[in-house]
Structure 1
Amino acid sequence: MRTYAIGDIHGHLDLLKAAHALIAADRAAIGDTEAPVVHIGDLVDRGPDSRGVIDFLMQGQALGAPWVVLKGNHDRLFTLFMNDPADRDPGLRSELAWLHPRIGGGATLASYGLHAPADRPLGQVHAEALEAVPAAHPDYLRQLPTWHLRDDVLFVHAGVRPGVDLRDQREDDLLWIRHEFLEDTRDHGALIVHGHTALSEAKHYGNRLNLDSSAAYGGPLTAVVIEGREVWHLTDAGRVRLDPPHQAAAAE
């Protein structure tokens, strides 16, 4: 069973379109038109065109593209702000807020035409955001699923709470979890494909596959194709096999 997947986008529409071009090239090479493309979440924040990213994905799905778009923690932060700027996400550290430069909400609002949103009174910025942001955008983000299971591959933004059945997983964990998941080496019953924790490049750990290659910080946006539990990184030169370290060493 074949599935394509794309890592954390963070407002980089140019990188997203380039990732889809790589997928289109792979589809053409193997004659596949039906395998879904799973976007792993964090559509917005930090990058220059969060509005364009949301428009692109909404329009593609509306036209019938076989795309799955998952909710990331940054996507939820955006919707919380639009609902009530005083509302706090329980996963966000107490000293930070969505408009803090480290989080990148200001860049998202700037893509809708707001001037210096991180440097002005919160109430004023919120009022302007309600005028500038199409209601369809936060509505779209709110209804995004938090996971997608395909055969024995589970796609989720941040990870899962180890040892907890998928039906009992909490959205807070699916969008925010780090150490408890990242440091757990057991098999989770499915290959967990996730993002959220930025690396210099995508990495396969055997029980999980991290696709966040730091597009938010100037890195690339990773696109992969997964067949069973085998993974290939899609590049301009074609497929490059992505194996867990022990398998890669054994092949040398």
Structure 2
Amino acid sequence: MFSPLLQMFRPKAEPRPLPSVPPGTRWYAVGDVHGRLDLFDAIREAIEADDSASPPAATTVVLLGDLVDRGPDSAGVVARARDWQTRRSVRLLSGNHEEMFLDSLEDIGVMRHFLRHGGRETALSYGIPRAEYDQASLEELQAMLNRAVPAADIAFLNAASNYLIAGDYLFVHAGIAPDVPLEEQKPHHLRWIREPFLEHDAPHTHFVIHGHTITEDVDERANRTGIDTGAYRTGVLTALVLEGTARRLIQAVERNGAVTIEREAYAA
């Protein structure tokens, strides 16, 4: 054991460099939308305005998954995201709710789970009448949903990635299994994990930007940032802007039926 005197003269560890995205790029990561088309429209407009007012850069928007379920207009959110992707670089990551939604179209067991976790709102958003929904069996609901959901929506959701890397950052829906190489991560980890990821405080190979776990404020840690601020429940949808080593926030906030945009720059 070192004596206190010797420890005084031990060299201090060099501070870990701030993570950065590649030079000349700007990244907008958007947290879990969950059917809140009002907030999604507001955050899209705010991102477009922010990008137009910023220095020229190669810009990418990353939707961190869980576009669907719980909120009132999943169908509208998916349609808007598909349209946005035709106008700029928009990358969708697969969340656990996209997984349930797609699997429910073929698996009755998953359909039951899907409907209990916000899928009812998704089904109604695709135009299934409430009275018919209330009277239908699971098999009938599955058939209705297969008829109601456009093939283009299914293709869009099926094309989602499990993760995306930008410089020192890793974008993923839920998180990663600590100390497991990225190429060995299972989709279940990337879409569903909470612990042991959330309490893991050692550095990962990349700084992780994720959603999935709701926190009242942005959950900023030494090795990760969580930006699921519970849009469907709190009325706050968060986008994290990354440029160089800088980070800043754009939030669409609904209060008493009115949606406003709030911006904040913060130190990493």
Query: Smaller-chain TM-score range?
Result: 0.7 to 0.9
Q: Out of 111, 129, 133, which is 1:115 matched to? A: 129
> Hey, what does 1:54 align to over in structure 2?
78
1:75-103 Cα offsets, whole Å, 9 max, x none, are: 01000011222247xxxxxxx71111xx1
C-alpha contact (below 8 Å) 2:46/2:261 kept by paired residues? no
Shift of 1:150: 0.4
Percentage of pairs with the same residue: 37
* Residue aligning to 2:170: 154
The whole-number CA distance in structure 2 between the counterparts of 1:123 and 1:163 is 42
Alpha-carbon shift at residue 32 of structure 1 (Å): 3.3
Give the structure-1-normalised TM-score. 0.86
Structure 1 residues 82 and 237, CA gap change in structure 2 (3 angstroms): closer
- State which of 183, 189, 202 in structure 2 corresponds to 1:173: 189
Mean CA deviation greater in 196-205 or 166-175: 196-205
Q: How many aligned residue pairs are there?
A: 234
2-side partners of 1:210 and 1:242: how far apart? Answer: 15
Classify 1:237/1:50 alpha carbon distance in 2 versus 1 (closer, same or farther; 3 Å).
Answer: closer
Between 1:25-34 and 1:136-145, the stretch displaced more is 25-34
User: Could you report, residue by residue, the CA deviation over 1:167-194 in whole angstroms, capped at 9, with x for unpaired residues?
Assistant: 1110000000001100100110211000
Q: 1:92 — aligned with what?
A: none
CA distance in 2, matches of 1:136, 1:155: 24
Aligned AA for 2:125? S
Superposition deviation, residue 53 in structure 1: 1.0
Aligned partner (choices 60, 70, 81) of residue 104 of structure 2:
81
Contact 2:42/2:261 (<8 A) preserved: no
Distance 2:135 2:205 in 1: 46
Matched, 1:125 2:141: yes
- 1:225 matches 2:241: yes
Normalised to the residue count of structure 2, the TM-score between the two structures is 0.81
Q: Which one of the candidate residues 81, 88, 97 is aligned to 1:65? A: 88
Pair 1:192 & 2:208 matched? yes
Any unmatched runs of 5+ in structure 2?
Answer: 1-21, 252-259
Check conservation: 2:43, 2:261, Cα contact below 8 A: no
TM-aligned CA deviation for residue 71 of structure 1? 0.6
Contact 1:72 1:158 (C-alpha < 8 Å) held by counterparts: yes
1:41-89 per-residue CA deviation (whole Å, 9 max, x = no partner) reads 001001111111111111222x24111111100001000011222247x
Give the 4+ runs in structure 1 shifted more than 6 A.
none
Distance 2:146 2:174 in 1: 29
Aligned-pair CA distance for 1:201: 2.1
Larger radius of gyration: 2
Q: 93, 99, 105: which is aligned to 2:119?
A: 105
Gaps of 5+ in 1: 89-95, 245-252
For residues 130 and 49 of structure 1, what CA distance do their matches in structure 2 show?
17
Report deviation, 1:143: 2.1
Moved more, 79-88 or 139-148: 79-88
Distance in 2 between the 1:231 and 1:55 partners?
Answer: 29
Distance in 2 (alpha carbons) for counterparts of 1:49 and 1:130: 17
Matched-pair contact (CA < 8 Å) for 1:152–1:228: no
Residue 41 of structure 1: aligned partner: 65
